[in-house]
C-alpha cells in the first residue's frame, strides 16, 4: 500500500487513528515501526505533553513539537498528521477503567465496607489523574469543545468503569439498599461525572493545599457511598 | 492609535455601552457554532458590523470578550437561591432537590456556549475565568453550605465531612452533569429524565434525605 492510500485508509476507517499504540505497527508511510520507530513516536508524544503543560492545545504547532523532540517536522508527519492526532493517540492509551478501579467496583459495598471502598475508588481515580493530568485535561477540553473524536475517547476511557458501577448499583437495588426507582446507568454516569470533575479541579481552587484536598477527597467518597446507598442517614 | 484615544475620550457613554453590548452579543452568537479555539477577534468584529480596530477599543483579545459575556450567565438566579435558602425537611426535600437540579440544568441550557467556553478557559488555568466561575456560583454555594451545616446540626449528615468540601463536590456534580447531559442520550430511552433523577437522588442521599438503609 503506497503512502496516500495508507493515509486515506486511516482517514476512512471508522476508528480514525484512535487505535492504541500496541496494535499500530506501521507509521503513516506504511513503514512497519521497529524499536527505533516506536521510540521516535514516543519521543514526539513526550515532547507534545511537555508543551501542553504550558501552552493551550491550539497554540501547539507541529513545528514546536518536532523541535522540542529534537526532530524535524517531516519526521513528525511520518507518525501523525496533526497535533490533534498526536494527542488522540497519546490520550487513547490512558484508561480510566484500570483493573484496580474495576476490582473496587466488583466488591460488595455495604454500610460497613462502603466507606473504605468509596475512599479507595476516589483515591485510585485521582492517582490516575495525577499521573496523566496533562493528557486527561487536554482531552477533556477537546471533548468539551464537542470534538467528536475526543468525546468518544472520553466515553470509551470511562466505559468499563461506568458499566461496573452500573452492576454495583443493580446489586445494591437487589439488596434493598438503593432506591429501585433510580436508573443504575444514569446514577453511575452522574457519579463518574462528579468524580472526573473533582479530580480535574482538585488543585485549581486551593492550589496544592493537602488539607483542603483531603477534605475534598473525603467529601467525594461520602457522596459516592451515599449515592450508592451505603449511608444510613443518621451519623 | 489616536482613533482609540478619541473614542475613549468621548463622553457618550450610552453609545459606548451599546457598542460593547453588540460585541458581546456577537461573541455569544459565534460561540453557539464555533469553539473557543476557533473564535477570532476578526469574526466577532465582523459579526457585530464593526472594524477590527473597534473590537480592540473594548477588549484586549477574544478571552476578554468571552469574560465579559460570562457576566451575563448568572448561575445563582433568585429562584434557584430561594430553593436552597428555605429549610429542607423530609417532606419537602425531594421537591426542593428536583427544583434545584432542574433550575441548574435550565441555566446551563440557556447559557451553554458561554459557560462551556468559560469552563474551558478556567480549566486551561486562566485565573480570571476560574474567578468568574467561582463568582457565578458563589451565592448558590453559600446557600448550599448553610443547608449542609443545618443537616449536620440535625445529624442527617456525618459531622466529620467538611461542609465547604461537600459543597464543592455537590456543585461539581451539578456542573458536570449540567454540561454533558445531552451527550449520552442513547444510554437509556428516557435519558434526560433518568440522568436528572440520578442527580436528585444523589443530592438527597448526600444531604441526609435518602431512603433509610435497611439494617
Residue B202 has pLDDT above 90, yes or no: yes
The reported pLDDT for the residue numbered A51 is: 95
The reported pLDDT for the residue numbered B205 is: 96
The region that residue A60 occupies, defined by phi over 0 for left and psi between -120 and 50 for alpha, beta otherwise, is beta
Take residue B204 and report the three cell numbers written for it.
438527597
CB–CB contact B120 A190 (8 Å): no
Residue B115 has pLDDT above 70, yes or no: yes
Among B205, B22, B174, which residue's Cα sits nearest to residue B108?
A: B174
Task: Compute the distance between CA of residue A125 and CA of residue A148 in angstroms, rounded to an integer.
Answer: 24
Do A99-227 and A18-91 have the same topology in CATH?
A: yes
Q: Is A227 within 8 Å of chain B by CB? A: yes
Mean pLDDT of A201-218: 80
CATH number of A99-227: 1.10.357
| pLDDT level of residue A2 (50, 70, 90 thresholds) | very low
The ipTM assigned to this model is 0.86
Residue identified by cell 490512558 is A94
- Structural domain spans, chain A: 18-91, 99-227
Mean pLDDT of B133-138: 92
CB–CB contact A146 B35 (8 Å): yes
CB–CB contact A144 B179 (8 Å): yes
Which positions in chain A touch B159 (Cβ < 8 Å)? 235
Residues in chain B: 215
Q: How close, in Å, is residue B137 to chain A by CA atoms?
A: 13
Mean pLDDT estimate for chain A? 85
Which positions in chain A touch B134 (Cβ < 8 Å)? 205
Most B CBs within 10 Å: which of A119, A222, A224, A228, as the mutation test of the B interface? A222
pLDDT in tens, B27-77: 999 999 888 878 999 999 999 999 999 999 999 999 999 999 998 888 999
Which positions in chain A touch B212 (Cβ < 8 Å)? 232-233
Q: Which residue of B has its CA nearest to A196?
A: B176
Of B123, B161, B194, the CB nearest to A137: B123
The reported pLDDT for the residue numbered A204 is: 64
Most A CBs within 10 Å: which of B122, B152, B172, as the mutation test of the A interface? B172
Among B133, B120, B115, B114, which residue's Cα sits nearest to residue B37?
A: B120
Residue B210 has pLDDT above 60, yes or no: yes
Instruction: For residue A194, give the H/E element and its range.
Output: helix A184-201
Of A176, A223, A232, the CB nearest to B202: A223
pLDDT in tens, A161-202: 999 999 999 999 999 999 999 999 999 999 999 999 999 888
pLDDT in tens, A36-83: 888 999 999 999 999 999 888 888 999 999 999 999 999 999 999 999
Residue B6 has pLDDT above 70, yes or no: no
> CATH top-level class for A18-91?
mainly alpha
Residue A29 has pLDDT above 80, yes or no: no
Of A177, A185, A226, the CB nearest to B187: A185
* Sequence-separated contacts (24+) of B38-43 with Cβ below 8 Å: B39/B66, B39/B117, B41/B65
Spatial neighbors of B116 by CB under 8 A, at least 6 apart, are: A144, A145, B31, B36, B179
Lowest mean pLDDT among A10-19, A98-107, B63-72, B172-181: A10-19
Which positions in chain A touch B164 (Cβ < 8 Å)? 215
Residue A232 has pLDDT above 80, yes or no: no
Amino acid at each position: 500500500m503506497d503512502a496516500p492510500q495508507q493515509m486515506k485508509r486511516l482517514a476512512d476507517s471508522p476508528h480514525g487513528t484512535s487505535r492504541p499504540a500496541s496494535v499500530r505497527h506501521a507509521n503513516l508511510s506504511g513503514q512497519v515501526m521497529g524499536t527505533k520507530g516506536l521510540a521516535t513516536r514516543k519521543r514526539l508524544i513526550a515532547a507534545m505533553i511537555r508543551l501542553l503543560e504550558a501552552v493551550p492545545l491550539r497554540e501547539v504547532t507541529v513545528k514546536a513539537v518536532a523541535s522540542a523532540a529534537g526532530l524535524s517536522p517531516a519526521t513528525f508527519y511520518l507518525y501523525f498528521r496533526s497535533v490533534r492526532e498526536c494527542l488522540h493517540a497519546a490520550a487513547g492509551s490512558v484508561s480510566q477503567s484500570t483493573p484496580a478501579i474495576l476490582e473496587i467496583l466488583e466488591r460488595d459495598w455495604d454500610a460497613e465496607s462502603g466507606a473504605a471502598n468509596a475512599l479507595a475508588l476516589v483515591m485510585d481515580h485521582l492517582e490516575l489523574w495525577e499521573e496523566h493530568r496533562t493528557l486527561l485535561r487536554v482531552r477533556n477540553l477537546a471533548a468539551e469543545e464537542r470534538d467528536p473524536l475526543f468525546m468518544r475517547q472520553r466515553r470509551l476511557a470511562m466505559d468499563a468503569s461506568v458499566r461496573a458501577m452500573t452492576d454495583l448499583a443493580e446489586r445494591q437495588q437487589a439488596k434493598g439498599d438503593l432506591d429501585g426507582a433510580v436508573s443504575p446507568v444514569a446514577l453511575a454516569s452522574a457519579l463518574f461525572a462528579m468524580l472526573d470533575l473533582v479530580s480535574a479541579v482538585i488543585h485549581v481552587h486551593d492550589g496544592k493545599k493537602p488539607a483542603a484536598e483531603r477534605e475534598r477527597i473525603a467529601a467525594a467518597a461520602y457522596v459516592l457511598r451515599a449515592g450508592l446507598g451505603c449511608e444510613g442517614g443518621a451519623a | 492609535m489616536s482613533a482609540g484615544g478619541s473614542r475613549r475620550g468621548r463622553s457618550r457613554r450610552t453609545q459606548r455601552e451599546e457598542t460593547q453590548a453588540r460585541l458581546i452579543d456577537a461573541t455569544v452568537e459565534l460561540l453557539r457554532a464555533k469553539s473557543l479555539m476557533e473564535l477570532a477577534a476578526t469574526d466577532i468584529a465582523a459579526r457585530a458590523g464593526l472594524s477590527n480596530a473597534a473590537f480592540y477599543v473594548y477588549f484586549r483579545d477574544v478571552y476578554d470578550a468571552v469574560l465579559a459575556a460570562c457576566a451575563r450567565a448568572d448561575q445563582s438566579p433568585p429562584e434557584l437561591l430561594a430553593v436552597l435558602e428555605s429549610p429542607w425537611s423530609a417532606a419537602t426535600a425531594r421537591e426542593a432537590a428536583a427544583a434545584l437540579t432542574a433550575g441548574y440544568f435550565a441555566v446551563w441550557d440557556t447559557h451553554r456556549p458561554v459557560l462551556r467556553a468559560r469552563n474551558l478557559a478556567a480549566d486551561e488555568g486562566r485565573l480570571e475565568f476560574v474567578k468568574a466561575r467561582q463568582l457565578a456560583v458563589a451565592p448558590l454555594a453559600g446557600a448550599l453550605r448553610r443547608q449542609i451545616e443545618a443537616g449536620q446540626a440535625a445529624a442527617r449528615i456525618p459531622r466529620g465531612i467538611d461542609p465547604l468540601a461537600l459543597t464543592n463536590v455537590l456543585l461539581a456534580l451539578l456542573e458536570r452533569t449540567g454540561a454533558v447531559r445531552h451527550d449520552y442520550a442513547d444510554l437509556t430511552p428516557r435519558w434526560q429524565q433518568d440522568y436528572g433523577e440520578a442527580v436528585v437522588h444523589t443530592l438527597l442521599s448526600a444531604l441526609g434525605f435518602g431512603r433509610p438503609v435497611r439494617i
